[in-house]
């Protein structure tokens, strides 16, 4: 379970997050949505202890993120940042293998090799495994980063806009993989999404943020209402029903 | 097979070392061998210290055109030396046990390096800002050292002047032993951290996500780099571009940035370049040029070439 209690974040004169409290039980797929600058990424990086907490408290599986040793947390929680800087002269297989670092501190055994190959296969990277990352397209690199996060094998996965740069085929595939990770492996997945229709189909729960606050929280059918969407994104959009799932016509 | 390349590098390094010890031996063989052995040890540990510290510094700063010396770390050391002469006077300075002096200067330098660079590196600066800060800091410390040099007595100045230029010829037998200890200990620690260094190269966010305590790792690595720079600066003086040259060469040879390959490859390349260069200058060119100047010239060209190619990409 992830417990977020009364956290606020100020950077300079800007209030990024204001008194956010949120509880996410173990299991399931939660989508964070909201306009640019709503504080979604900041919330994610605070949960993943990438930024120091200014006020309030966050715990993951009972481990307070500000005092638990980083290495201990890395076995429980994986984070994929938006646009991570990638070291050069690194092969895809090596990067994916780094996901095993929290468990092995660099000594890769047979079990790790199996997990690495499985992750490569799962994200369609087997043919690219020995290519250098700086020779790949943005989408291929993104897939390698996601594969590394999967390979970390943690109960909790936080992904910041993982669909960035992915084509439709791989975007759909990734959402299905995340769904499978939640259903089959009982992992807890929290994902920042801009494509609200992906959230509508694959998420169990949608948390909508705006200006550093949570403005709506519930099942997709509850959150994806015209009035709620207008409040969050600032313009009116139609929502139609397609086979029991809401489809937001946000582009018209 | 990268491992084969390492073996070849090791074999070449051994051959160069053997040639360094034996080529052109004459006169009192025992005496000459002893002299050469001390110089061999000096050059090897200087090469190793510079190579390792440059690799680690480049990893920590996520920047392949940096050396600790470009960032002014060695200027910091020289400034400490000048300050010591100013406060103690040349007589007191010369009277000090060189090992004690070295220890004092190193600790001073490590403390200052931590104070200056840790806040900067915690939030990774972009390359332009980092280079600019380094150059400015380097100029600042060199100017401060110059200022001190002007203030002190000309005789006292002569004492320190010798240590402010790169010099691969003068052997400091008094510092070889302590330098060896520092190099071996720091090298062993860095070798044990080779897997963590691969993770550190991914950047603060990814490394933290994979369980690296970023600030602690950074502080520790910076201290090790400072200690190694202190060794090389004390033994041969400031060399700015040598580390850049050998690390870039090593990276070309093994075609990898993984530390378990890059660290030994950079070490061996440094040994080959230093010993080989010294031999060529001494025996073939009759000592017409100094190794320091040649290495800095070639290294500077490599630095420019790397700046141009990376900005093109």
Percent of chain B residues topping a pLDDT of 70: 88
pLDDT band at residue B313, thresholds of 50, 70 and 90?
very low
Let me know if residue B25 belongs to a domain: no
Task: Report CB contact under 8 Å: B203, A85.
Answer: yes
Rounded Cα distance, B180 and B186, in Å: 10
Give contacts of B64 with chain A, Cβ < 8 Å.
88
Q: Is residue B159 over pLDDT 80?
A: no
Bridge-based pairing of strands A2-11 and A14-24 is antiparallel
Provide the shortest C-alpha distance from residue B61 to chain A (in Å): 11
* Percentage of the residues of chain A whose pLDDT score is greater than 90: 62
pLDDT at position A35: 93
| Cβ <8 Å between B211 and A101 | yes
d(CA A49, CA A73): 9
Q: Which chain B residue is nearest to residue A98, measuring alpha carbons?
A: B199
Distance from CA of B253 to the nearest CA of A (A): 13
**What is the model's pLDDT at position B165?**
62
Q: Does B83 fall in a domain?
A: yes
The pLDDT tens digits for A143-170 are 899 999 999 989 999 999 999 888 899 8
- Is B145 part of the contact surface with chain A (CB cutoff 8 Å)? no
Q: Among residues B237, B99, B272, which one has the least CA distance to residue B179?
A: B99
Q: In the structure encoding, which two tokens stand for residue A29, read together? A: 């797929």
* Partner-chain contact A79 B205, CB within 8 Å: yes
**Residue A59 pLDDT more than 90?**
yes
* In CATH, A2-76+154-249 is 3.50.50.60: no
Which residues of B are less than 8 Å from A98 in CB distance? 198-199, 202, 210
Q: What are the residue ranges of helices labelled H in B69-126?
A: 73-95, 98-122
Q: What is the pLDDT of residues B291-304, one digit of tens each?
A: 777 787 888 888 88
Chain B interface includes A52 (CB < 8 A)? no
| Residues sharing a CB contact under 8 Å with residue B137, sequence separation 6 or more, in sequence order | B71, B72, B75, B76, B116
Q: Is residue B31 part of a domain?
A: no
Whether the CB-CB separation of A95 and A133 falls below 8 Å is answered with: yes
CATH number at residue B161: 1.10.3470.10
Distance from C-alpha of A151 to C-alpha of B34, rounded to nearest angstrom: 55
Q: How far is A159 from chain B (nearest CA, A)?
A: 12
Residue of A nearest to B210 (CA): A74
Is residue A120 scored above 80 in pLDDT? yes
- Predicted pLDDT at A189: 94
Q: How far apart are CA A66 and CA A59, in angstroms?
A: 8
**Among B309, B199, B124, B71, CA closest to A104:** B199
Asked if residue B33 belongs to a domain, the reply is no
Rounded distance between C-alpha atoms, residue B171 and residue B175, angstroms: 9
pLDDT tens digits, A2-38: 999 999 999 888 899 999 999 999 989 999 999 998 9
**What value does the mean pLDDT of chain A take?**
90
Domain count of chain B?
A: 1
Tokens 């060695």 belong to which residue?
A: B74
pTM above 0.90, yes or no: no
> In this complex, do B213 and A71 lie within 8 Å of one another by their Cβ atoms?
yes
CB contact under 8 A, B209 and A74: yes
Domain region containing B231: 2-19+38-312
B257 shares contact with chain A (CB less than 8 Å) = yes
Interval A206-219 mean pLDDT = 93
When scoring B206, B262, B313 by the number of chain A Cβ atoms within 10 A, the one with the most, hence best to mutate, is B206
d(CA B181, CA B159): 26
Sorting pLDDT into bands at 50, 70 and 90, what band is B1? very low
Rounded Cα distance between B271 and B18, Å, is 12
Coil, strand or helix at A7: strand
Residues of chain A with CATH 3.40.50.300: 2-76+154-249
How many other β-carbons are positioned within 10 Å of the β-carbon of residue B87? 10
- B55, B126, B199, B209, best to mutate vs chain A, most A CBs in 10 Å: B209
Cβ atoms within 10 Å, residue B313? 6
Q: What pairing do the DSSP bridges indicate for beta strands A63-64 and A213-218?
A: unpaired
């Amino acid at each position: 379970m992830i417990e977020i209690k009364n956290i606020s974040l100020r950077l300079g004169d800007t209030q990024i997050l204001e008194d956010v409290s949120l509880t996410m039980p173990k299991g399931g797929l939660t989508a964070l949505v909201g306009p640019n600058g709503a504080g979604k990424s900041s919330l994610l990086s605070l949960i993943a202890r990438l930024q120091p907490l200014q006020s309030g408290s966050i715990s993951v599986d009972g481990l307070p993120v500000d005092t638990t040793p980083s290495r201990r947390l890395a076995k429980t929680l994986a984070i994929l940042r938006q646009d991570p800087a990638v070291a050069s002269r690194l092969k895809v297989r090596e990067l994916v293998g780094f996901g095993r670092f929290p468990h092995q501190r660099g000594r890769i055994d047979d079990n790790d090799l199996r997990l690495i190959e499985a992750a490569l296969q799962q994200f369609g990277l087997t043919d690219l495994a020995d290519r250098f990352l700086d020779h790949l397209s943005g989408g291929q690199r993104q897939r390698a980063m996601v594969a590394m996060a999967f390979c970390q094998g943690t109960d909790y996965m936080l992904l910041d806009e993982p669909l960035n740069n992915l084509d439709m085929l791989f975007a759909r595939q990734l959402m299905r993989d995340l769904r499978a990770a939640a259903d089959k492996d009982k992992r807890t997945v929290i994902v920042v999404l801009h494509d609200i229709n992906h959230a509508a189909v694959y998420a169990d729960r949608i948390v909508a943020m705006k200006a550093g606050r949570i403005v709506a929280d519930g099942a997709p059918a509850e959150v994806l209402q015209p009035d709620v969407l207008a409040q969050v994104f600032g313009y009116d959009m139609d929502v139609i029903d397609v086979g029991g799932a809401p489809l937001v016509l946000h582009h018209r | 097979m990268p491992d084969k390349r390492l073996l070849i590098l090791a074999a070449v390094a051994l051959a160069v070392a053997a040639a360094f010890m034996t080529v052109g031996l004459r006169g009192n063989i025992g005496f000459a061998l002893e002299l050469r052995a001390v110089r061999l040890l000096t050059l090897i540990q200087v090469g190793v210290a510079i190579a390792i510290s440059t690799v680690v510094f480049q990893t920590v700063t996520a920047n392949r055109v940096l050396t600790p010396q470009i960032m002014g770390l060695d200027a910091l050391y020289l400034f400490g030396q000048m300050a010591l002469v100013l406060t103690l006077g040349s007589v007191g300075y010369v009277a000090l046990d060189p090992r004690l002096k070295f220890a004092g200067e190193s600790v001073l330098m490590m403390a200052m390096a931590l104070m200056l660079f840790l806040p900067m590196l915690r939030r990774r600066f972009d390359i332009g800002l980092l280079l600019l800060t380094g150059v400015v800091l380097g100029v600042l410390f060199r100017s401060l050292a110059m200022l001190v040099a002007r203030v002190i007595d000309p005789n006292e100045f002569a004492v320190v002047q010798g240590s402010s230029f790169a010099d691969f010829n003068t052997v400091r037998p008094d510092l070889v032993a302590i330098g060896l200890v520092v190099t071996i200990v720091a090298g062993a620690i860095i070798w044990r951290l080779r897997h963590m260094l691969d993770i550190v190269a991914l950047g603060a966010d990814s490394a933290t996500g994979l369980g690296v305590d970023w600030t602690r790792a950074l502080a520790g690595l910076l201290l090790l780099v400072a200690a190694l720079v202190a060794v090389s600066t004390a033994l041969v003086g400031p060399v700015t571009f040598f580390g850049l040259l050998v690390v870039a060469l090593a990276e070309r040879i093994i075609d990898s940035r993984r530390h378990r390959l890059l660290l030994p490859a950079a070490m061996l390349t440094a040994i080959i370049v230093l010993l080989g260069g010294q031999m060529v200058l001494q025996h073939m060119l009759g000592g017409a040029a100094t190794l320091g100047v040649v290495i800095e010239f070639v290294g500077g060209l490599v630095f420019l070439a790397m700046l141009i190619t990376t900005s093109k990409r």
